[in-house]
Structure 1
Amino acid sequence: MIELAHVSRVVGGRTIVADVSLRVAAGTILTVVGTSGSGKTTLLRLINRLVEPSAGTIRVAGRDVRTVPPHALRRGIGYAIQGHGLFPHRTVAENIGAVPKLLGWERARIAARVDELLTLFRLDPALYRDRLPAALSGGEQQRIGVARALAAEPPILLMDEPFGALDPIIRGRAQDDLKAIQQRYGTTIVLVTHDMNEALRLGDRIAVMDGGRLVQEADPTALIGAPATEFVGALLGRGDRAFQLMALRLVDDLVEPGPAPGAPIPAGTSVRDALAESLWSQRPALPVSRDGVILGRVTRARLEAQGAGP
Structure 2
Amino acid sequence: MIEIDRISKQYEGRNVVDSVSMTVETATITAIVGTSGSGKTTLLRMINRLVEPSSGEVRINGQPTGALQPHELRRRIGYAIQGHGLFPHHTVGRNIGAVPELLGWPGQKIRARVDELLTLFGMEPAQFRDRYPAELSGGQQQRVGVARALASRPDLMLMDEPFGALDPIIRARAQEDLRRIQKTLGSTIMLVTHDMEEAIHLGDKVAVMDAGRLVQYGTPAEIIQRPATDFVAEMVGGVDRPLRLLSLVPVSEIVEDGPAEGAPVQTSTNLRDALSTCLWSGRDALPVVRDGAPVGRVTLGAIRARAEGPE
Which range, TM-score by smaller chain?
over 0.9
Structure 2 residue identity aligned to 1:23: T
What does residue 287 of structure 2 align with? 287
1:300 to 2:300 alignment: yes
In the TM superposition, what whole-angstrom CA distance separates every residue of 1:187-242 from its partner, at most 9, and x where no partner exists?
Answer: 11100000000000111111111111111111111111111111111111101101
What does residue 63 of structure 1 align with? 63
Distance of 1:227 and 1:299 partners within structure 2: 28
Instruction: Map 1:109-188; keep pairs closer than 5 Å.
Output: 109-188=109-188
4+ residue runs of structure 1 moved beyond 4 angstroms? none
Secondary structure of the structure 2 residue equivalent to 1:255:
coil
Structure 2 residue identity aligned to 1:98: A
What does residue 230 of structure 1 align with? 230
In the TM superposition, what whole-angstrom CA distance separates every residue of 1:19-70 from its partner, at most 9, and x where no partner exists?
Answer: 1111101111111000001000000000001111111111111011111111
Distance of 1:271 and 1:76 partners within structure 2: 39
Distance of 2:282 and 2:126 partners within structure 1: 45
What does residue 14 of structure 1 align with? 14
What does residue 215 of structure 1 align with? 215
In the TM superposition, what whole-angstrom CA distance separates every residue of 1:152-209 from its partner, at most 9, and x where no partner exists?
Answer: 1112100000001111111111111111111111111100000000000111111111
1:266 to 2:277 alignment: no
Query: Taking structure 1 as the reference length, what is the TM-score of the superposition?
Result: 0.97
Structure 2 residue identity aligned to 1:241: R
What does residue 197 of structure 1 align with? 197
Distance of 1:200 and 1:49 partners within structure 2: 27
Distance of 1:224 and 1:242 partners within structure 2: 8
Q: Percent identity?
A: 60
User: What is the deviation of 1:278?
Assistant: 2.0
Secondary structure of the structure 2 residue equivalent to 1:245:
helix
What does residue 51 of structure 1 align with? 51
User: What is the deviation of 1:275?
Assistant: 1.1
Distance of 1:27 and 1:188 partners within structure 2: 4
In the TM superposition, what whole-angstrom CA distance separates every residue of 1:80-114 from its partner, at most 9, and x where no partner exists?
Answer: 00010000011111111111111111222111111
Structure 1 residue identity aligned to 2:3: E
Distance of 1:267 and 1:76 partners within structure 2: 39
Instruction: Map 1:240-255; keep pairs closer than 5 Å.
Output: 240-255=240-255
Structure 2 residue identity aligned to 1:176: E
Distance of 1:257 and 1:307 partners within structure 2: 20
Secondary structure of the structure 1 residue equivalent to 2:215:
strand
Distance of 1:261 and 1:154 partners within structure 2: 50
Secondary structure of the structure 2 residue equivalent to 1:3:
strand
Secondary structure of the structure 1 residue equivalent to 2:84:
coil
User: What is the deviation of 1:121?
Assistant: 1.0
User: What is the deviation of 1:309?
Assistant: 4.1
User: What is the deviation of 1:76?
Assistant: 1.3
Distance of 2:123 and 2:288 partners within structure 1: 32
Distance of 1:60 and 1:155 partners within structure 2: 8
**Uncovered stretches (5+) of structure 2, i.e. residues with no partner:** none
Secondary structure of the structure 2 residue equivalent to 1:158:
strand
Structure 2 residue identity aligned to 1:43: L
User: What is the deviation of 1:248?
Assistant: 0.6
* Count of aligned pairs: 310
Query: Taking structure 2 as the reference length, what is the TM-score of the superposition?
Result: 0.97
